[in-house]
Structure 1
Amino acid sequence: MAKRRARNIDDRTIIQVVGLLDGWAGKLSWDLLVDEIEKRLGIHYTRQALDKHARIKLAYQTTKQRLSNAPRLQHRKKSYSQELVPTLERLERLAAENARLKAENEHMLEQFVTWAYNAYLKGLTKEYLNSPLPLVDREVTKVTRGRSTNGRV
C-alpha cells in the first residue's frame, strides 16, 4: 500500500512544531525532529517540508544554538530537590521560547528594512505605505428575484 501524503503544514502545525522545539532537550537533528513530530502529532513530514517554513527553520537553528551553548539540565538535576526540577525545566523552556521569539523579531525587523528600502526605490512615500486598508463589507448579499442563476431561482 502506498504511503499517503501528509497534510500541508498550516499555522497550527507550525505552532506545535515550534513549541516542541522550545522544549527540546538533548541531541537535535532533523531526523530526530521528524520522528518526534510523527510520534506526537501522528503525521510524517520530511526534513525538506519542515525546512521550507521560515518559523520552523529559525526555531530549529535557535534550538541547535541553545543546545550547543547551554549546559544540560540533566546534569544539574541531581543537585536539586525533585520539587524544584519541574520549575527549572519550565524556566529553561520559557528562556528557549524567549530566545526564539527574539530571533523571529530580529528576522521580521530585517524583512521590514528590506521592504522599506524597496518601497523607497519605487518612490512610495511613508504616507502612502501607512494608508489604512479598505473596509470590508461584511453584510449579507441579497439575491434579487428573477435573476437567472443557470436555471435555478
Structure 2
Amino acid sequence: MAIKSLDTEQQISIQALIRSWEGRLTWDLLVTKIESSLGITTTRQTLDKYLNIKNEYKEKKRLLKSKPVSTTNTELVSYLEKDIDLAEKVIQLESELKVAKDEIGYLQAFIQKVANIGESNPAVMDIFNKALQDIESKAI
C-alpha cells in the first residue's frame, strides 16, 4: 500500500534520487527505484502532488533530453539494465508471494473446516490425525 503523504525528509531523498538519475526516466521507473533504493512505497499520482518533486522530475527530464546516454558507456547501460531486471524480479516475487499467501489462506480455511467437522465426527478426526502423522513421518 502506498504512503498517502511524504514527509520533508522523504521528499528531499526523492529529489536527490531524481538529481542523480542517469538514463531513461519515467514515472514508473522512478516509483520502482524509490521503493528499491529508499524503501518508500508510493505512486506516480502521489509524487505528482508534490510541486518540488514534480519540478525536479521535469527538470531532470529536460536535462536528459539534451544529453542522451551514450551507447559506448557500456558500464552505465549495463547498470541500468541490471536495475530494471532487478525491479522486474521484485515485481515478479511480490506477485508470487501474494499468490502463495492466498493459497495458504485457502488451505488454512479448509483445515479449520475439517477440524470443525472432526469435532462432531470421530471417524473424520481419526483420518485427519492419520494424515497428519503421515506428513510428520515423511518430514523427518
TM-score (norm 2): 0.48
Tell me which protein shows more helix as a share of its residues. Answer: 2
